[in-house]
Amino acid sequence: MRLLFGVSNQKGKIVFSPGRTLIEVIIALCVSLILGGIFFQGVQRVVLLRSYISRGHNMEVKVSHVFSIMMPQILNAGQGIPASLDFEKLFEEVTSIAHWGRALNVVPNFDAEIMNKDWGNELRCVYTLPSLLKVISIAPSLQEVTLSGVPKSSKVEPTYGGKARKTLNWVVFPGATRPFRVAYISGTKVKLAESAQDVESIPIGSFLHFLRASRFYVKRGPREGMDALYFHDVTKQSAQPVVNGISRMEFTYHKQEGVLEVCIEIESRGKRSKVVTAFHARNI
């Protein structure tokens, strides 16, 4: 059977010319359907691949963000706090951290226990923030050090002879025998509350560091149905969600090796992925 297709010639008359057979048309349709299916499968795979790449990139961004926040604090944890000292007695005036027991500590996630959620555990960290101020000279008998510049009031607060109840009242000089309470600040001169013997241990040329403390844990975030990593700045007494989509954080401290293992579970578009890494706690 042959199909006829009508076309119009230049004089306006309709002329029928022989077309394709029915079998040829059916074959053409079948080929078109097959090629169309292949095309749409290809498009679908491209869309899935883009979604996979996008999800992978999203998770990579979250992991990078988490580590950019945590890494400096973990690496500087315990700096200037000799392990031989009794942590609780050393910081007995700072009641917010004295009971932590040590500069790097892993404890249960109490919010998770109350809510019956598997959010992992909590990391507590006492660390230092370095400054560009150097020790120019020391006067042990006066319990005083002279710095290369004036410390910012937003970074350190003197006690004016009172108790050092906040981490803002403390500074660290790497290489010294202990952390120091700041009694007074007068320009570049800083009077400390520790003994002359302790002040004498401060190395000339060492950099001034500020004592800080923080907590990291996971709980329900501000976005509906999404958990988040929270960072509690103990110095400023504020806890804020810093990375959304973190569904679980598990910390394991291997004391003998001085290694902190961190396991992060990330939720992205309904799927979970796990990332495990470790840090050497060099000052603990």
Is the pLDDT assigned to residue 269 strictly greater than 50? yes
- Give the three-class secondary structure for 176: coil
pTM for the full predicted model? 0.77
Distance CA 168, CA 211 (A): 7
Distance CA 183, CA 163 (A): 9
Largest CA distance in the chain: 119
- CA geometry: angle at 171 spanning 165 and 175, to 5°? 135
Tell me which of 172-181, 193-202, 254-263 is least confident. Answer: 254-263
Average pLDDT over residues 51-62: 60
* Residue range 88-138, pLDDT digits in tens: 999 999 999 999 999 999 999 999 999 999 999 999 999 999 999 999 999
Look-up of token digits 């000799």: 82
pLDDT tier at 20, thresholds 50, 70, 90: low
pLDDT tier at 235, thresholds 50, 70, 90: confident
* Residue range 204-217, pLDDT digits in tens: 999 999 999 999 99
Domain boundaries, the chain: 56-280
Distance CA 273, CA 91 (A): 39
Average pLDDT over residues 242-246: 92
Average pLDDT over residues 229-252: 91
Nearest alpha carbon to residue 279 among 263, 249, 259 = 259
Q: What pLDDT is recorded for position 190? A: 97
Three-state SS for 221-262 is CCCCCCEEEEEEECCCCEEEEEEECEEEEEEEEECCCCEEEE
Please state, for a pLDDT cut of 90, what percent of the chain lies above it. Answer: 63
Look-up of token digits 């007068």: 186
Q: What pLDDT is recorded for position 25? A: 60
Residue 185 neighbours by CB distance under 10 Å: 17
Q: What pLDDT is recorded for position 236? A: 81
* Residue range 148-159, pLDDT digits in tens: 999 999 999 999
Is the pLDDT assigned to residue 240 strictly greater than 50? yes
Q: Which residue has the higher pLDDT, 226 or 107?
A: 107
The length of the chain in residues reads 284
Average pLDDT over residues 182-189: 97
Q: HSE of 78 in the Cβ direction (CA atoms, 13 Å)?
A: 21
- Sign of the CA dihedral running 20, 22, 27, 28: positive
Q: What pLDDT is recorded for position 283? A: 84
